[in-house]
Homo-oligomer: A and B are copies of this chain.
Amino acid sequence: MSSIPPSTADSTPGPGAGLPAPAFSPLYQQIKGLILQSLQAGEWKPGEAIPSEMDLAARFRVSQGTVRKAIDELAAENLLLRRQGKGTFVSTHAEQQVQYRFLRLMPDRGDAATEGPAERRIIDCRSTRANAEVARALGLRTGESVIQVRRVLSFHGQPTILEDLWLPGAAFKGLTAVQMSDYPGPTYAMLELEYGVRMVRADEKIRAVLPDEEQAMLLQVTPQTPLLSVARTSYTYNDVPMELRRGLYRTDSHHYRNTLG
């Protein structure tokens, strides 16, 4: 861009244009936004390589360094994955060795890797209508269609996690219990492959609670057993909420692990 001013095909003028921009943002942020748009639009699918830095630099009429900085930030946010000598790839839950994307429950002895995969049992899976709480969390209106799933995850035969999931019906039309239980990998990988919805971020609210009778029965504990209640909202690109999940975790042989920077 030595002589040609940047015309990056978006509405906001670049800083090189020298015009009074109402909302100034650095060039690399604009490039980042453009790459993000392509990701959301599905121009490059999860697992695929995006064009090389040089190609993107030519496409956006900026230097490689500017593209690099944009990609750096997207890689830091786990949306892209850089592999030296091979290229830059769209992050994916599939073909990924991590067993759990957001689950922070760890066995007291050993780690998630040594423990092996959980056994999953679907208790319930049905289409229903969003109540006020679910609707608010998912950005829907009360009464809109949602898919509700209840399941139990067990480690070494011991029920450890009871989860209730709510998914917006519009985005996950036709999701069945068979599909949930048949898919061998992480649930988020299944949602990504089957419905093209990639979860990017999640918020959790954690409390200590006592289970009701049904919950206690499903987790094979007494109603006096304290459990971790984890309410998670998962978001896809652009902070659009796509899942509400309420988990009850037994913490007698596991614990919730967190690192604070």
Q: Which residues of A contact B (CB under 8 A)?
A: 77-78, 102, 104, 201-210, 224, 226-228, 232, 249, 251, 255-261
Point out the residue from B78, B226, B259, B261 that lies within 8 Å of A77, measured CB to CB.
B261
Name which of A204, A257, A260 has the most chain B CB atoms within 10 A of its CB. Answer: A260
| Residues of chain B with a CB closer than 8 A to A260's CB | 102, 104, 201-204, 232
The 22 sampled A-B contact pairs (Cβ below 8 Å) are A77-B261, A78-B261, A102-B260, A104-B258, A104-B260, A201-B259, A201-B261, A202-B260, A203-B257, A203-B259, A204-B257, A204-B258, A204-B259, A205-B257, A206-B258, A207-B228, A207-B255, A208-B208, A208-B226, A208-B249, A209-B226, A224-B224
A205 to B201, CA, bound (A): 21
Q: Chain B nearest CB: distance from A64 CB in Å?
A: 14
Q: Chain B nearest CB: distance from A163 CB in Å?
A: 15
Given contacts A77-B261, A224-B224, contact A255 B205 (CB under 8 A): yes
Cβ-closest chain B residue relative to A211: B226
Cβ-closest chain B residue relative to A199: B260
| Residues of chain B with a CB closer than 8 A to A258's CB | 104, 203-206, 258
Cβ-closest chain B residue relative to A201: B261
A173 to B85, CA, bound (A): 53
Q: Chain B nearest CB: distance from A88 CB in Å?
A: 18
A168 to B77, CA, bound (A): 37
